[in-house]
Each structure stands twice: as C-alpha cells, then as structure tokens.
Structure 1
Amino acid sequence: MKHWSRADGLSAAAANSPDVRRTLRNRSRYEVANNSYARGITLTLANDVVGTGPRLQMLTANDAANRFVESEFYAWAESVGLAEKLRTMRLSRVADGESFGLLTNNQRVDAAVKLDLRLIEADQVASPTLSPDTGRYLDGIRFDADGNPIAYDVLRNHPGDGLFLVDDEFDTVPAAAVLHYFRCDRPGQIRGIPDITPALPLFAQLRRFTLAVLAAAETAAEFAGILYTDAPANGEADAAEPFEPIELEKRMLLTMPGGWKMAQMKSEQPSTTYAEFKKEILNEIARCLNMPFNVAVGNSSGYNYASGRLDHQTYFKSIRVEQSQLARVVLDRILHAWLREAILIEGYLPNSLRTLDSTFEHQWFWDGHEHVDPAKEANAQKIRLASHTTTLAIEFARQGRDWETELKQRAKEIALMRDLGLTIESETDSPSEPDATEDHAEDAESQTA
C-alpha cells in the first residue's frame, strides 16, 4: 500500500505541473553538477548524439546550387556555434527535461545570413503572475483549437536571477520563432521532465553507500590498535582500565600488562560486494538513458567482443532515434528559417532555390561511430557491396560522410597518384591462388568488375 500510495490518475499536464517540474529540475541539476558519474553520462550522451555537429546535404536537381547552399550553411553554422548549442540543448534535456531556442536576428553574426539561435532555460518559459491556465493556455504556451502551439510567453529575466521580480515583464514570442526540444512520453504532454528522473533516487543511494563505506574505513583507521586478552572472565590477567587510551611513542617497544595482547584493528571496508553494488546501481542508472554499462562508466574491462557489440547495437539505435528527432524538431526548422532569410538577400541564392514553394529535399549527416574491430567491419562492408545488399551512400552515411564528396576526393587522389607515378593498390592486387577452384576465380572476376 505504501508503494502504490503515490499512484494517481492525473493527466500528463497535471502530473508535470510547474511545481513538480521545478523540483525535478533543481534536483537533476544538482546531481549533474555534483556527481561525477551523472556529469560523465550526460556529457557522453550529448557528444554521441550531436558529435561535432550535423552536416547538410541538399538533394535538389541542381548540383551546383546544392554545393553552394551546403557550403554557405556550414559557414553560417560555424559562425553561430550551432554544434555547441545543439550539445547544450541535449544536455539541458537530460537535467531540465526540455530546451528552448529562439530564432533571432543578430547583426554580429559573421555570415551573409544574420539568423541566430538563442537558447533559454525552461524556467523562463512560464505563465506570468496572475495569468490563469486554461485549455488554450498552459505553462506559458498558447494553443489554437487544434492543440497547436501559437505563442510562447518568455520571461525577460530568469526567475533565479537577483534582478527577477514577482511581476517581472515578459515577451510573447510566436511559435514560428521558438524551438521546443523535449521527449513526449504521454499523449497530451506539453512540457518535458528530466531524462534522469527515474535515476535520481539511485544517485542518492550510490552517494549514501559510498559515504557509509568511507566512514567505516575511516573509523577503523582511527584506531592504532586494540588491547585484548584470551583469559576467561575472572581469569589470571592484570587489571586494565576498560576503553582507556594508551599513548604510543614513535619507534618504541611497548610492554603490555600480564595476560593482555596488542593487535591492530582490521578494516573490513570496502567489502568484496562494494564494487558489485556500485556496478548494479550504475547499470540501473544508465538504463533509463538506453546507455550500456561500459559506456556509462567508461570501463569495458569485463566485456568481450560479442558483448560489446550487442550492447552498442541497442545504444546506437537509440542515438539514431534521437538524431532523427533533433533533425525534425530543430534542424529542419533552422534550415527553413535560414533559406527564408537567404532568399531576402538579393542575388545571394541561385535562381533555382529562390522560392519556398517547392520542397527542398535534403538530409543530415551525423558523426559515425567507430567500430570495435575495424578489420572485421571493413571485410563485412566489402561483402555487402559485392553482394549488392548495400550502397556507397549507405556505407558513407554510417560514417557521417557524404558519398559524392568522398568519391570526388578519391578520384582526385587517384589521378594525382597516376601523374606522380605512384602505384595504386587496387591495380597491383595479386592474382588468385594457384589452387583456387574455377568457381572462386569467377567470383573474383565478377567482384573486380
């Protein structure tokens, strides 16, 4: 009954009320700021999801226009620090549950397009004082009749600032200029809660257990020795005052009363189960983030090759899902806003792209994940290409690279090597073994072709 006493039938919005989210944010931020494991886990997750930043590939019919937009968008992304801001947004989702970005105009941006992304914390998107929440207005967000957000109320000062007043001023920002990044776990949920919410009690248990073990070890270390006797009660032993401390001199011999012995206290901490307990707690903490244990703790000493591969498959699937959401919720809207601003610049974009009436097909490339055994992965890649079960576009995309760019670069390298008289490995491959069967020879010829 005590376990289920907290269960309720509240809606997603009511269960994640402003007071509840404020408490969860404060506790999550405290753990991430003061717990080494929590900090490392969140940093690893942000680095794996965002990496060095996404790369744009335009897929319109005009190749020259595609290359121009990709180059200009990359230069703009570098000037505004887009990759760093995306990593910050992912970090905020872990500790705050959500992150907000405002699309603004910044004249100091070192690019032709002056669009900028300004991040704000979840605390600043809130209902102003004395503004009642209704079905169309909740937690600082205004909705239309279909449930679509149409405007956000953003406090000009952070509620945690010393300059913040109870009736502080706010700005109403249209939804087209606001990026709201969070994970929706329930239908009707409009605000996010920290990703590490289920792990907050576990962080406390981990800290309490570690401090208890440390206190026990320190207590044992405080005693230089213990005076004890093997004589039975009322046996033959000189009288000794119970619990009387004896001051020891350095490098001196010491005589004990008759029938008494001096022994050093044996420390029983940490016990053999200490490491196992911490491992289980950390494994449970990392589970709510879909992160394997060896990635969470940065230690793969207990893993073999197969276990590492199997655990990472689940983790990388989760990463791909998050990258897809980040591309849809944040990057696609940023690209649309960037193109809209670029069109307003006379003579900037190619003529084929100077309209938003058509859909600009594109895709985003993210950093690839290094394989545990590069030789095995290269051999598997060779077999997939030979059996026509994959394409160069797919294989390069797994590494976060554009296949067209890489092939053009490789063609330049091969041409230069031939001009310099350098041998190309593919042209000097050794023939098949003399004892190879005819079928093997035919397979080798087909693969070469």
Structure 2
Amino acid sequence: MLTWLKRLTGPRALTRLQSVRRLPGWLRGRYDAATTTDNNARHWRAADGLSANAANSPDVRRILRNRARYEVANNSYARGIVLTLANDIVGTGPRLQMLTGDAAANRRIEQAFQQWARSVRLAERLRTIRQACAVDGESFAILTNNENRPDAIRLDLRVIEADLVTTPDLHLKPDDHVDGIRFDSYGNPTSYCVLREHPGELHGRLEPRCDRIPAASMIHLFRADRPGQARGIPELTPALPLFAMLRDYSLATLDAAKAAAYFAGIIYTDAPANGESDAVEPMDQIELERNALLTMPGGWKMSQLHAEHPSGTYSEFKREILNEIARCLNMPFNIAAANSAGYNYASGRLDHQTYFKSIRVEQSHLEAVVLDRILAAWLHEARLIPGLLPTGLRSPADGAHQWFWDGHEHVDPAKEANAQATRLASHTTTLADEYARRGLDWETQLRQRAKELTLMRDLGLSVAESLPRPEDEEDEPDDGETREEDVPTEA
C-alpha cells in the first residue's frame, strides 16, 4: 500500500506529470484582457454577464432615456447632432416608385400614395421616429384607422413614446414577456402592451391601464446590438458622459475667463503678528469702482487674483470630445460641429463617405421596418376603394416597388457632372442609377425633359442656347496642390 502511494506522490510522479503538461495538447493560452490586476480592477468592476434583455432592464432604460432627453434639451451640440442625423436620413421624405409593369397604373398609385403621405405628414413623423431612436433608443408607431380623415383612405400613423410600451405587472407574467412585448415560441412579437396614460403625466392614475395592440398594427424601430435584444437603448448612451465633461469644462473655462476679467484681489501684509500695521477686519469685502485709485491701510498691500486655468487648450479639448461623441453615430466631426475649418477638400469627402454609407444603411432599415409595412397597409385599404388601384393588383406582393430618398449635393458640381458624363459614356452606369443618387425617378425626369424640349422647339429656342458654355480654364486643384504652371518663374 505504501509503495503504491509513493508512486503516485513521489518525485518521479511529479516529473511524469510535468512531462505530460509539456505536450502540445496541454498548452495553455493567456489573454491580458482576461486578467484582473490592481490597476484594472476598478475599470472592469461594472462588467457583467447579463443577457441583452436583463442588461436593458426597464429601470436602466428609463434612466438612460431621461438623461439623454435632458442632455439633448440643454446641450446645443446634442440637439444639433440629433436634428442633423434625422434630416440627413429622412430629408423631405421618401418617394415611392411602383414597378408593376403598367406605367399608367404605376403613376396612379404613386400619386395617390404621395397625396396620402403628404396629408398624414409622413416625412415629419419619420423624422420624429428617427430622433426618438437616437434619444430614446427606440420608437413605436401604431397603424390606426382615423375616421376623422378627410379623404377616402382612413389609414393613419400614431407615433408614441417608448415610455408607454411597458408591462405594469411584469414580474407576474410568464417568460414569454419582455417589458411591454409578448413573444411566441419562435421569438416573434405577438402583441404590445400600451399604457393609456403616459407615466410622466402630472395627473396620472395610480393603477395604470393598458391596451393590447397586435403586432400586425405596431411598428417597432430600434437597433439590435445583441442577439435576442427586444428593446433598444439610446444611441447617445456612450456619449452621455462626454457631453457632461464638455459642459463642465466649458463652465470651468468660462469661470476662469471671468476671474481674469474681473478686478479681484486680496490685501496682505508682510508685517509680523502684532507688528506695526493698521488693524483690518479679516475676510472683509471692499467694493471697487472702475478707473479709481485706492488707498490701503498702513502696512498693507494689494495683489490681484490671476486665473491659472489652461483655457488655451479649450478649443483642442472641445474638438476631441466632439469627435469622440459623434463617432458613436458614424458622424464625422465637421458635420457634428458644423465646422470644416480644419478640412481640405479630400479629407472632407473621405470622412463623408463613411457617413453617407451609414445613412444608406439607416434608410434601408427604415424601408424594411417602417415604409414597407405602411405601404402594405395602405395597399390593403386602397384596394377596397373602387377605381383607386388597377384591378390587376390583387395583393401587396404584386406591388413591386422601390423608395427614393433625397440625394446629397456634391461639393464641386462641375467635377461631379464631368464624372457622371464619363460614366454614362463608358456604359458603367445608367440614367436610373444617376438619378437615384439624387433621389429622383428617372422616368419622371425624362418625361419632364421631353416636355421641356417640345416647348423649346415650339418657342423657337435651340437646345445649344440653353446649355452653359464650357470654361477654358481648368479647375483648381482639390487638396491645395500646386500645379507646375502655377509656380512663378524668375524673369
């Protein structure tokens, strides 16, 4: 028995174990980010393993919403960033183009839908929805039947705040409920619980009442950053501490500048205690007048207070903070700050490419989650009105379509026009693509151009007279580069 134990615990057993650990199959890896030290323990203290819905609990989302709303309401940069983002994504509103194969039917549907969209202020509500996603993290809209509408189509869009979608007795509900939303076994929402009164009303009820809205009538727009995430958090969440830092630093810089501008000082004496100097009251204040000479008590001197705050770095600090704030929204600094003073032409265009690509992604998300749902509901109701839609369009699936958004103006229209002409001449693009870049329907534009040419011929005007004359000078270089012919030569 003792011999067997010595074989297991003796020096030879330890040597055999060490040799086994040196085999390739027993190699161990180490991540520096997974180690906890005295230096990083405080930084990683808040890291947790909660699920997406547990991390975004109702209390956490309520605190983030309130703080984001407060910052946007009181910070001009936060307000401008949110407004710029909504205006760039939505613009004046989307325009529908039907692709059913019947040109006359397409135009009739497009005109009818555009008239309805204008009457319900669809573009304005879409901008509100997008602003709510940035500030509240999510936005809800209910497809309702408004009997007070003046036209035949009663479809309307009611935008509600995220505070209204909640479950008052969530702790008593089964696991298929996430705050305000009920899901089926496949993870699809089946109904939403919408409060009748806002929780922040001054005269709200003690026992909140809610209505069950079916998922077919509810539009829920948010960005899911984690799998299984059911509710959204404000997109400004990473930037909220930075906004607070910017405001605090601005106030501190202002206080330092005011202290330097004011004529403030302190009187002191070099005489020892109980020395030969007049007695004065300690911590006493003296009112000073401008352009006046003062007499000091005997033995006392006066020294002005100087501001030691490094206000010279304020602009650099402000730029870096705004750059970091705008990064969580994929927005470049010159758009967030509305200031391109430090940019050249190439740098501005390079930064805008990432921003405009993000806008296209956002617009595609809006089309899939909001606009297609609205169009399907509008077609479903429009089919019931005699003569509004063509008889061949029996279901929304027959309504092949696409959406056009406002285009973004080029910094140098002349260069863009030349590039466009080159692409069309080399057959690397089409008129449909070029007009789509500007948010226009190519068929509508060509019909309008044909009308113009016809009218010009009737009035005896030639096309050449209406075209601008090409300039003889070449365009200036883009990035501040100097051409060889621009360099002055010695006489």
**TM-score clears 0.5:** yes
How far residue 344 of structure 1 moved from its aligned partner, in angstroms, is: 1.4
Which residue in 2 is equivalent to 1:356?
395
- Residue in structure 2 matching 1:186, options 226, 233, 237: 226
- Match for 1:191: what amino acid? R
Which residue in 2 is equivalent to 1:165?
205
Query: Aligned partners of 1:429 and 1:400: how far apart in 2?
Result: 24
- Residue in structure 2 matching 1:102, options 139, 142, 149: 142
1:404 aligned onto 2:409:
no
1:425 aligned onto 2:464:
yes
> How many residues are paired up?
427
Query: Aligned partners of 2:271 and 2:159: how far apart in 1?
Result: 75
Which residue in 1 is equivalent to 2:312?
272
Query: Aligned partners of 2:439 and 2:467: how far apart in 1?
Result: 30
How far residue 359 of structure 1 moved from its aligned partner, in angstroms, is: 3.0
Which residue in 2 is equivalent to 1:132?
172
Kindly, what percent of the aligned residue pairs are identical?
Answer: 66
Structure (1 or 2) with the larger CA radius of gyration: 2
1:87-113 deviation digits (Å, cap 9, x = unpaired): 000010011100000000112223321
Q: What TM-score results when the alignment is normalised by the length of structure 2? A: 0.81
1:395 aligned onto 2:440:
no
1:145-191 deviation digits (Å, cap 9, x = unpaired): 11111111111111111232242221111100000000011000011
2:93 touches 2:405 (CA, 8 Å); kept in 1?
A: yes
Query: Aligned partners of 2:178 and 2:149: how far apart in 1?
Result: 34
How far residue 252 of structure 1 moved from its aligned partner, in angstroms, is: 4.4
Which residue in 2 is equivalent to 1:71?
111
2:277 touches 2:300 (CA, 8 Å); kept in 1?
A: no
How far residue 420 of structure 1 moved from its aligned partner, in angstroms, is: 0.8
How far residue 227 of structure 1 moved from its aligned partner, in angstroms, is: 6.6
- Match for 1:308: what amino acid? G
Which residue in 1 is equivalent to 2:48?
8
1:219-274 deviation digits (Å, cap 9, x = unpaired): 33343566789xx999xxx9576987665555445567899987765545562101
Which residue in 1 is equivalent to 2:31?
none
2:424 touches 2:430 (CA, 8 Å); kept in 1?
A: yes
Which residue in 2 is equivalent to 1:437?
none
How far residue 315 of structure 1 moved from its aligned partner, in angstroms, is: 0.3
Question: Unpaired runs of 5+ in structure 1?
Answer: 434-449
- Match for 1:332: what amino acid? D
Query: Aligned partners of 1:204 and 1:357: how far apart in 2?
Result: 48
1:150 aligned onto 2:150:
no
- Match for 2:74: what amino acid? N
Q: 1:43 to 1:257 in 2, by over 3 A?
A: same
Which residue in 1 is equivalent to 2:127?
87
Which residue in 1 is equivalent to 2:3?
none
Q: 1:246 to 1:175 in 2, by over 3 A?
A: closer
- The residue correspondences of 1:371-390 to structure 2 (distance < 5 A) are 371-390=410-429
Query: Aligned partners of 1:250 and 1:428: how far apart in 2?
Result: 67
- Residue in structure 2 matching 1:199, options 234, 239, 245: 239
Which residue in 1 is equivalent to 2:69?
29
2:271 touches 2:299 (CA, 8 Å); kept in 1?
A: no
1:399-428 deviation digits (Å, cap 9, x = unpaired): 010010001101111111111111212898
Query: Aligned partners of 2:462 and 2:301: how far apart in 1?
Result: 82
Query: Aligned partners of 1:304 and 1:227: how far apart in 2?
Result: 53
- The CA RMSD over aligned residues, in Å, is 2.6
2:380 touches 2:396 (CA, 8 Å); kept in 1?
A: no
2:376 touches 2:396 (CA, 8 Å); kept in 1?
A: no
How far residue 47 of structure 1 moved from its aligned partner, in angstroms, is: 0.3
Q: 1:152 to 1:220 in 2, by over 3 A?
A: same
Query: Aligned partners of 2:467 and 2:314: how far apart in 1?
Result: 58
1:153 touches 1:173 (CA, 8 Å); kept in 2?
A: yes
- Match for 2:203: what amino acid? L
1:100 touches 1:121 (CA, 8 Å); kept in 2?
A: yes
Q: 1:46 to 1:312 in 2, by over 3 A?
A: same
- The residue correspondences of 1:342-353 to structure 2 (distance < 5 A) are 342-353=382-393
Q: What TM-score results when the alignment is normalised by the length of structure 1? A: 0.88
219-228 vs 404-413, greater mean Cα deviation: 219-228
- Match for 1:313: what amino acid? Q
- The residue correspondences of 1:252-271 to structure 2 (distance < 5 A) are 252-254=292-294, 266-268=306-308, 271=311
- Residue in structure 2 matching 1:304, options 339, 344, 354: 344
Query: Aligned partners of 2:371 and 2:86: how far apart in 1?
Result: 16
Q: 1:331 to 1:255 in 2, by over 3 A?
A: same
Query: Aligned partners of 1:110 and 1:335: how far apart in 2?
Result: 19
Query: Aligned partners of 2:63 and 2:468: how far apart in 1?
Result: 65
Q: 1:160 to 1:430 in 2, by over 3 A?
A: closer
Query: Aligned partners of 1:17 and 1:429: how far apart in 2?
Result: 61
- Match for 2:108: what amino acid? F
1:323 aligned onto 2:363:
yes
Query: Aligned partners of 2:237 and 2:178: how far apart in 1?
Result: 22
SS at structure 1 position matched to 2:449 = helix
Q: 1:256 to 1:18 in 2, by over 3 A?
A: closer
Query: Aligned partners of 1:225 and 1:344: how far apart in 2?
Result: 82
1:338-365 deviation digits (Å, cap 9, x = unpaired): 0000111233211122x11743110000
1:313 aligned onto 2:353:
yes
SS at structure 1 position matched to 2:199 = coil
127-136 vs 397-406, greater mean Cα deviation: 127-136
Q: 1:54 to 1:255 in 2, by over 3 A?
A: same
Q: 1:70 to 1:270 in 2, by over 3 A?
A: farther
1:65 touches 1:352 (CA, 8 Å); kept in 2?
A: no
Where do 4+ consecutive residues of structure 1 move more than 4 Å?
224-229, 238-270, 426-431
- Match for 1:200: what amino acid? L
1:79 touches 1:110 (CA, 8 Å); kept in 2?
A: no
Which residue in 2 is equivalent to 1:38?
78
2:61 touches 2:233 (CA, 8 Å); kept in 1?
A: yes
